[in-house]
Amino acid sequence: MKTKFRIGKNWLYIPLIALAIFYLLPMYVMLVTGFKSFEEIDLQTMWNLPRGLALDNYIEAYGSLAPSLWNSFLMVIPAAAISSMLGSLNGFILAKWKFRGADFIFPFILFGMFIPYQSILIPLVVFVNATLRPLGLGGIPALVIAHVIYGIPITTLTFRNYYASLPQELLEAAKIDGADMLGIYRWILLPISIPSFVVVLIWQFTSAWNDFLFAVVLTSNRSWPITVALNNMAGSQIISWNVQMAGSLLAALPTLLVYIFLGRYFLRGLLAGSLKG
């Protein structure tokens, strides 16, 4: 029956290819500009292919963005790791070990996923300045803490939905064998939740890497992650557009690579974010 749908559908490639070009245009400009030598750079020849493969733009962009690229890695890795551990534990308890009021609490946690952070930004900055900064935990550690805390809703939701889909018999059998709660979590659920860990790790990695709002209010010059550094680079009159293009690609590369190699998991995280895990 399915073959019936395929007959005479080849004209669909025309709109599909047109759309593919639309999606690739910005990537094309980023890549092509990055590989041009400084003499070839001209806004009027923006769409031309490069004559050779020069790396001048990437070298210059890396030169000024390298510290913030490292800041981003330093921030994103612990943020993603801690977030997913917390999310897994919360999800397990909310899905399989319901205490009284668990169903009442859950929507309140969920709402936190959607709030505009402008509504908590002033207290957050005041809090960080009063407590974390004097302890030497301003900048990147503060950013990690912000991503972990404001990541609780989405990570909890993803794990809860996954654990809720597992049959209750799995737990009952372990209970009869005398396993306690932590035993069940450690020996039964944790080993089979690797795919969910990948989903949540990728999700948190991507959103922390791409975040701008928390970064711009919580970090300063030395602790800028890549988004803030790139935006400042783009706003400056001194750095030319070709270097900005190369810098954009450097800033996009880590999350793009994750997407290219682990796209399947990325999509699952995306759909979880619309509550339809």
Site for another protein in 6-25 (CB under 8 A): 6, 9-10, 12-13, 15-16, 19-20, 22-25
Six-digit token string for 158: 């993803």
Beta carbon nearer to another protein, 12 or 194: 12
Residue 180 touches another protein, criterion: CB under 8 A: yes
Pick one of 71, 244, 265, 272: the residue that binds another protein (CB under 8 A): 244
Which region, left, alpha or beta, applies to residue 53 given φ > 0 means left and ψ of -120 to 50 means alpha?
A: beta
Residue 227 touches another protein, criterion: CB under 8 A: yes
Tell me if 36 sits within 8 A of 54, measured CB to CB. Answer: yes
Residue 176 touches another protein, criterion: CB under 8 A: no
Pick one of 213, 221, 222, 261: the residue that binds another protein (CB under 8 A): 213
Tell me if 159 sits within 8 A of 90, measured CB to CB. Answer: yes
Smallest distance from another protein to CB 52, Å: 22
Beta carbon nearer to another protein, 15 or 191: 15
What does the per-residue mask of binding to another protein show for 40-79, with x meaning CB under 8 A? Answer: ---xx-xx--------------------------------
Name the segment binding another protein (CB under 8 A); options: 38-46, 51-59, 136-144, 192-200. Answer: 38-46
Helix, coil or strand: residue 269: helix
User: Phi and psi (nearest 5°) for 267?
Assistant: -65, -40
Tell me if 73 sits within 8 A of 144, measured CB to CB. Answer: no
Beta carbon nearer to another protein, 139 or 247: 247
Residue 187 touches another protein, criterion: CB under 8 A: no
Binding residues for another protein, rule CB under 8 A, total 94
What span, in angstroms and rounded, lies between the C-alpha atoms of 66 and 59?
10
Beta carbon nearer to another protein, 115 or 173: 115
DSSP structure class, residue 224: -
Residue 258 touches another protein, criterion: CB under 8 A: yes
What span, in angstroms and rounded, lies between the C-alpha atoms of 209 and 223?
14
Ranges within 98-157 binding another protein (CB under 8 A): 99, 105-112, 114-116, 118-127, 149-150, 152-153, 156
Residue 82 touches another protein, criterion: CB under 8 A: no
Smallest distance from another protein to CB 127, Å: 8
In order, the DSSP letters of 84-149 are HHHHHHHHHHHHHSPPTTHHHHHHHHHHTTTS-GGGTHHHHHHHIIIIIGGGT--SHHHHHHHHHH
What span, in angstroms and rounded, lies between the C-alpha atoms of 233 and 65?
9
